[in-house]
Structures are given as structure tokens and as C-alpha cells.
A and B are shown apart, each in its own frame.
Chain A
Amino acid sequence: MSGDLKIELGRRYRFAASHRLHTPQLSEEENCRVFGKCNNPHGHGHNYIVEVSLSGEVDPATGMIANLADLDTFVEQQVLEELDHKSLNEDVAAFREKVPTTENLCIEIFRRLKHFPHAKLERIRIQETGNNSFEYAGEDQEGNRS
């Protein structure tokens, strides 16, 4: 940060995955009514774009909030290796219980990246399609957004 200015670094990553919106807490008819074609039994897929925003001091020696190579490696290990070309419902433990909406995906990816050691994670924004995007900025202990 420079005095009273705040700098954030934004980086976009892409992965492709399939999902099906379905919850055992609702009947077949209700699932169909609530989730529409997203409830089709064999699922469907998206090319997701994940935007990661970080804040922190800009190191005068490097001009950087965080080294991109460190961030890329962390995101690759924590997110992309487990999610890219997978079924979110079948292959990702977090979605055994939760519906893999992109809202829940934002929360899951935030949880996976919030311990990045070199900068503060400000928010996750995911574009599910060119027309839909979702953001999550974490919560404090009272459950309020930080």
C-alpha cells in the first residue's frame, strides 16, 4: 500500500467441469421445478473462469504484492488439479453434501485459497458463463461479509 492507497492484484484462471444441481432434500418433482434443466440426470458442464483478488504491501524490491509464480502454483495445487475436467458432484468431496451451484463453488474455492501465505485473499469471482458471475469475499466470525 502506498499511504492511503490500496492496491489489489487480480488473476484469472480457467477450468472446465461438469455438475448437476440436485438435492436429496427435495422430491424429484421439486428438484425439477427448482433447478430446471440444471437437474437433468447426467449433468452438464461449463468453462469456469475464476478471478482471484489479493491485497497486500507492494514489495519495493519486486514491485509485486505476490509473486505470480507462487500464486499460480498454489492455485494449481489447491484448485485446478482437483477441479479441472472433473465432475463437481462425483469428484469433489465438498459437493457430496452441498449442491454445486456457483455460489457454493465460490465459497469452496475461497476456503481453499484463503491460506495463501504471501498476500490477503480479498475475494473470489467466478464466471460460470459469459452471462452469470458470482462473488464471495469471506465472512467474519459473526457470519458477516468481511
Chain B
Amino acid sequence: MVLLTRKIEFSASHLYHNPNLSAEENRRIFGKCNNPHGHGHNYTLEVTVAGEPDPVTGMVLDLKELKEILEREVMQRMDHRHLNYEVPELAGQIPTCENIARIIWKLLEPKIKQGRLHRVRLYESPDLFADCYRNGANGAGKG
């Protein structure tokens, strides 16, 4: 099996606010991420696909095709958008790294026809990221 990773970057705004909690609780739990007008990040997304190289093309899947899938499913939905208000898949969820990574997994998995989606890693900043795996197929150095 070979792993192939493609990276893209997008910029988006968000804020953390749970309407079921009081203003004080929101402030206590989410801190400055609760500021009412939101803030933004340059997100970096790494998408890893696992598979066997095709004997004719030598490719797990055509990177052009993966690039088009990422453009359609992620860039057009999220780039230069407000994640709370403009991305229906995140409606009713706090747009944390964890939740965005999971949504991106769900958007991408059915679109990848050659190989299979192995990992989605979403960086909110160089020091904070979330990974999404299929259960049992995770982790560096793990089966």
C-alpha cells in the first residue's frame, strides 16, 4: 500500500458560540474564540489517500482528479467564507478543527473512487490541528 498526500490552503472566518449555553458559559469555555464578530484563520488541509499504484499509470489516483475534488468540495465551500453562516454542513455545530475535519472527511470519502481516503489533517495554525481516520486505520506507527 502507498499513501499519497495533497495539501491545500484556504482562509475562512468563524466563531465559537453555543446558543444553549449562557453568555457567561460561552465566554468561559470558548474564551476569545467567542468574540461575537468572529475571527479568521489560514487553514492548511492535508488529504491522504491509500492504495496500490495502478500498473499502467503508476498512480494511486490521478493528482489532477484529487485537486479537482478538493477544489469542488472544500475550496468552493469554505475558502473566504464564514464557517458558521455559509457552510450548511456545519450548521448547528461549533466549527472547531475537530468538526471541520470530520465534515471534510464526509465530503471527500464518497468522491474518491480510486484508492481510499486514509487521513484528513486540518491545521488551524501551525500549532493546532485535528486528524480524522477510519477507526482502526489510524495513527503514526500504529496498525
A residues lining the B interface (CB < 8 Å): 1-2, 4-13, 53, 58, 60-65, 67-69, 122-123, 125, 135, 137, 145
Q: Is B18 in contact with chain A by the CB < 8 A criterion?
A: yes
A10 adjacent to B29 (CB under 8 Å): no
Distance in angstroms from B38 CB to nearest chain A CB is 15
Q: Is B9 in contact with chain A by the CB < 8 A criterion?
A: no
Residues from chain B with Cβ under 8 Å of A7 in the complex: 98, 101-102, 130-132
A68 adjacent to B128 (CB under 8 Å): yes
Give the B interface residue count (CB, 8 A). 33
Residues from chain A with Cβ under 8 Å of B31 in the complex: 69
Given A4-B134, A135-B140, CB of A63 within 8 Å of CB of B98: yes
Distance in angstroms from B28 CB to nearest chain A CB is 9
19 contacts between A and B (CB under 8 A): A5-B133, A5-B134, A6-B135, A7-B101, A7-B102, A7-B131, A8-B132, A8-B138, A10-B121, A13-B127, A58-B96, A62-B96, A63-B16, A63-B95, A67-B29, A135-B141, A137-B139, A137-B141, A145-B141
Distance in angstroms from B131 CB to nearest chain A CB is 4
Residues from chain B with Cβ under 8 Å of A145 in the complex: 141-142
Instruction: Give Cα distance in the complex from A61 to B138, angstroms.
Output: 25
Instruction: Give Cα distance in the complex from A70 to B6, angstroms.
Output: 32
Closest to A8 in B: B131
